[in-house]
Amino acid sequence: MKGERKKIYNVLKHYSRFVVTSHQNIDGDGLGSALAMYFLLQRIGKEALVVYDGRVPYFYRFLPGAERVLSFDEFQSLGDKLLEVLIVVDCSNLSRLGRVGELEKKWNPFVVNIDHHPDNVLFGHANFIDSSSPASALLVYDLVCGMEVPLDAEMATNILTGLVTDTGGFQFAELDPSMFRVVGELVASGASLSCIMRYAFRYRRLEALRLLSRALERLVFEPSSSCAITYLTREDFRECEAKEEDAEGVVDYGLYIPEAEVSIFLKEVEPEVYKVSLRSRGDFDVLAVAHHFGGGGHRKAAGFKMAGTLSSVYRTVLEYISSTAGGVLSLKVGEESNAGGSPESL
């Protein structure tokens, strides 16, 4: 890993034009890491852009530099600017970049891959991967320190946001003495932990709360498999006048149930296509489940997409998790249920 970091330091020093990006359906770690990397490049006198194939969620727009994130279309409108280095943060493979992944084919840039996902496919020319790190933002922090660039409020806020959001407000990672020191340094450099906690976890539109209400009404606990499961359809989003980002965090509520070891959230993103989000505690590895269905993530937080009716996706996911966990489910999913089915049909 030291060799890869040294390679990245050399790239940062000797190249001039950079694009920083992260995965679609961006989260606080992806965005915070990208923006912290952007500010690092600015501080060392480089030409840098942050490009993202999507829209920055409103609850992350408080981040320093969020207003500078270009959509893929905005980037394209700038003209044919030569790209020397593509820095990809918090992303396990190039397919998760959406259209931004086309830049790698178009310009054949030097690709820097900075990530903490255990299933990263090492797609970069330089790969700084540490699956033991609780957030990719901490790897950017290491690069800032290695480049001997003084932390400022802009970098510190973005790095701390990545750490806070990917640990669920430090619920999923032990805050040991070394982590305390890092957090202390970030706060001393100008990051506000209370501000980050508010926007990340307690700043949601009314439409998002209405959407959450529907998901909680449908929340079911299966004691035989220790799974909690709920769902939202496209019709729910239309009726609540909600956007996809308004469903952020819904999956976490299943683990509020004391007996639940796994939480499953089905979100219809296209007609009869569901994004399945998984969370777990204890020893259950939801990354293995996601891999089985062609997805990815972490051992405690993972996801994938699946086509089918609501009832078929619901049944398939629960049956697989039950068989993996060694449990026996007694499902009551009607075969004729459709994507607009009521909670009673499940």
The Cβ of residue 122 has, within 10 Å, a number of other Cβ atoms equal to 11
Rounded mean pLDDT of 40-62? 97
Predicted confidence at residue 2, as pLDDT, reads 74
Rounded mean pLDDT of 329-336? 35
Domains and CATH numbers, the chain: 2-201 (3.90.1640.10), 206-345 (3.10.310.30)
Residue at token pair 């830049």: 103
Q: Please, what is the average pLDDT of the chain?
A: 91
Predicted confidence at residue 325, as pLDDT, reads 63
Q: Residue 330, CB half-sphere, CA atoms under 13 Å: how many?
A: 2
> How far apart, in whole angstroms, are the C-alpha atoms of residue 14 and residue 10?
6
Predicted confidence at residue 104, as pLDDT, reads 87
Banded model confidence at residue 343, pLDDT cuts 50, 70, 90 = very low
Which has more confidence, 28 or 331?
A: 28
Position 337 pLDDT exceeds 50: no
Predicted confidence at residue 146, as pLDDT, reads 95
Structure token pair of residue 85: 């280095």
Distance of CA 200 to the CA centre of its chain: 13
- Say if residues 137 and 158 touch (Cβ distance below 8 Å): yes
- Say if residues 84 and 16 touch (Cβ distance below 8 Å): yes
Rounded mean pLDDT of 330-346? 34
Position 23 pLDDT exceeds 90: yes
> How far apart, in whole angstroms, are the C-alpha atoms of residue 133 and residue 116?
6
pLDDT (tens digit, 9 = 90+) per residue, 217-244?
Answer: 999 999 988 999 999 999 999 999 999 9
Residue at token pair 């209370």: 194
- % of the chain surpassing 70 pLDDT: 93
pTM of the model: 0.91
- Say if residues 18 and 50 touch (Cβ distance below 8 Å): no
Lowest mean pLDDT among 82-86, 102-106, 286-290, 339-343: 339-343
Predicted confidence at residue 176, as pLDDT, reads 87
Rounded mean pLDDT of 8-33? 97
- Say if residues 159 and 136 touch (Cβ distance below 8 Å): no
Residues whose CB falls within 8 Å of the CB of residue 35, separated by 6 or more in sequence, listed in order: 50, 63, 64, 65, 66, 69, 154, 158
> How far apart, in whole angstroms, are the C-alpha atoms of residue 5 and residue 9?
6
Position 321 pLDDT exceeds 60: yes
Position 86 pLDDT exceeds 90: yes
pLDDT (tens digit, 9 = 90+) per residue, 116-170?
Answer: 999 999 999 999 999 999 999 999 999 999 999 999 999 999 999 999 999 999 9
Banded model confidence at residue 211, pLDDT cuts 50, 70, 90 = very high
Banded model confidence at residue 74, pLDDT cuts 50, 70, 90 = very high
Banded model confidence at residue 329, pLDDT cuts 50, 70, 90 = very low
Banded model confidence at residue 80, pLDDT cuts 50, 70, 90 = low
Position 15 pLDDT exceeds 90: yes
Banded model confidence at residue 330, pLDDT cuts 50, 70, 90 = very low
- Say if residues 128 and 151 touch (Cβ distance below 8 Å): no
pLDDT (tens digit, 9 = 90+) per residue, 92-129?
Answer: 999 999 999 998 888 899 999 999 999 999 999 999 99
Q: Rounded to 5, what percent of the chain is helix, strand, coil?
A: 45, 20, 35
Of 316, 298, 317, 310, residue with least CA distance to 341:
310
Rounded mean pLDDT of 260-272? 97
